[in-house]
Structure 1
Amino acid sequence: MNNMEHKIPLANNHISVDCVVIGFDGEKLKVLLVRRIGEDSGGEVFHDMKLPGSLIYVDEDLDGAAMRVLNQLTGLKNVNLMQFKVFSSKDRTKNPKDVRWLERAEKAKVERIVTIAYLSLVKIDRALNNKNLNNFQAEWVPLDEVKDLAFDHNLIIDEAMKFIRQYVEFNPSCLFDLLPRKFTALQLRMLYEVLYGKRIDVRNFHKKITMMEYVIPMDEYQQGVSHRAARFYKFDKKIYNKTRR
Structure 2
Amino acid sequence: MTPNDTYTRLANNHISVDCVVMGWDGERLSVLLVSRHGEGEEYSDMKLPGSLIYQDEDLDQAAARVLKELTGLENAGLRQYKAYGSKNRTKDPRDVIWLERAQKIHVERIVTIAYIAFVKLDRSVTGCLDGYNALWRPVDEVGPLAFDHNLILSEALGQMRTMASADPALLFDLLPRKFTLAQMRTLFETVYDRKVDVRNFHKKVGAMTYVVPLDEYQQGVAHRAARFYKFDRKAYNRQRR
The answer to whether TM tops 0.5 is yes
Structure 1 letter corresponding to 2:74? K
- SS of match in other structure, 2:129: helix
The higher radius of gyration belongs to 1
> Matches of 1:86 and 1:127 in 2, distance apart?
30
Q: Find out whether 1:45 has 2:42 as its counterpart.
A: yes
Q: How far, CA to CA, are the matches of 2:123 and 2:238 in structure 1?
A: 28
Give the structure 2 partner of residue 3 of structure 1. none
Q: CA deviation at 1:158?
A: 0.5
DSSP-derived class of the 1:93 partner: coil
User: What does 1:226-241 align with in structure 2 at a 5 Å threshold?
Assistant: 226-241=222-237
Q: What is the aligned partner in structure 1 of residue 4 from structure 2?
A: none
Please say if residues 38 and 102 of structure 2, whose CA atoms lie closer than 8 Å, have aligned partners that are also in contact: no
CA deviation vs aligned residue, 1:91-137 (integer Å, no higher than 9, x gap): 00001111111111111000111111000010012454x43212211
Residues in 1 aligned to 2:158 and 2:194: alpha-carbon distance in whole angstroms: 15
CA contact (8 A) 1:74 1:133 kept: yes
Deviations along 1:50-96, one digit per CA (max 9) or x if unpaired, are 00111111111111111111111111111211111111111000011
2:77 corresponds to 1:80: yes
Query: Per-residue deviation at 1:217?
Result: 1.2
One-letter amino acid of the counterpart of residue 208, structure 1: K
Partner of 1:167: 163
Give structure 1 regions of 4+ aligned residues with deviation exceeding 3 angstroms: none
Gapped regions of structure 2 (runs ≥ 5): 1-11
Deviations 1:4-58 (A, max 9, x none): xxxxxxxx9611111101112222211010011226xxx5412110001111111
Q: Distance in 2 between matches of 1:240 and 1:14?
A: 43
State the partner residue of 1:96: 93
1:55 pairs with 52, 55, 66, which one? 52
Q: Structure 1 stretches of 5 or more lacking a match?
A: 1-11
AA partner of residue 201 (structure 1): D
Query: Is residue 40 of structure 2 the alignment partner of residue 64 of structure 1?
Result: no
1:29 equivalent in alignment to 2:29: yes
In the comparison of the two structures, how many residue pairs are matched? 230
Paired position in structure 1 for 2:130: 134
Please tell me the residue identity of whatever aligns with 2:34.
Answer: V
Secondary structure of the corresponding residue to residue 57 of structure 2: coil
- Counterpart in the other structure of 1:8: none
**TM-score, L = length of structure 2:** 0.91
For 1:55, what is the secondary structure of its paired residue?
strand
1:109 paired residue among 103, 106, 110: 106
2:191 to 191, 195, 208: 195
Q: Retained in 1: the 8 A contact 2:18–2:50?
A: yes
Aligned residues with identical type, % of pairs: 64
Partner of 1:16: 16
- Rounded to whole Å, the distance in 1 between the matches of 2:215 and 2:44 is 49
The alpha-carbon distance between structure 1 residues 44 and 109, as it changes in their structure 2 partners (threshold 3 A), is closer
Quote the residue 2:122 is aligned against: 125
Is 1:244 the counterpart of 2:234? The answer is no
Change (3 A) 1:119 1:126: farther
Q: What does residue 220 of structure 1 align with?
A: 216
Name the aligned partner's letter for residue 190 of structure 2. Answer: V
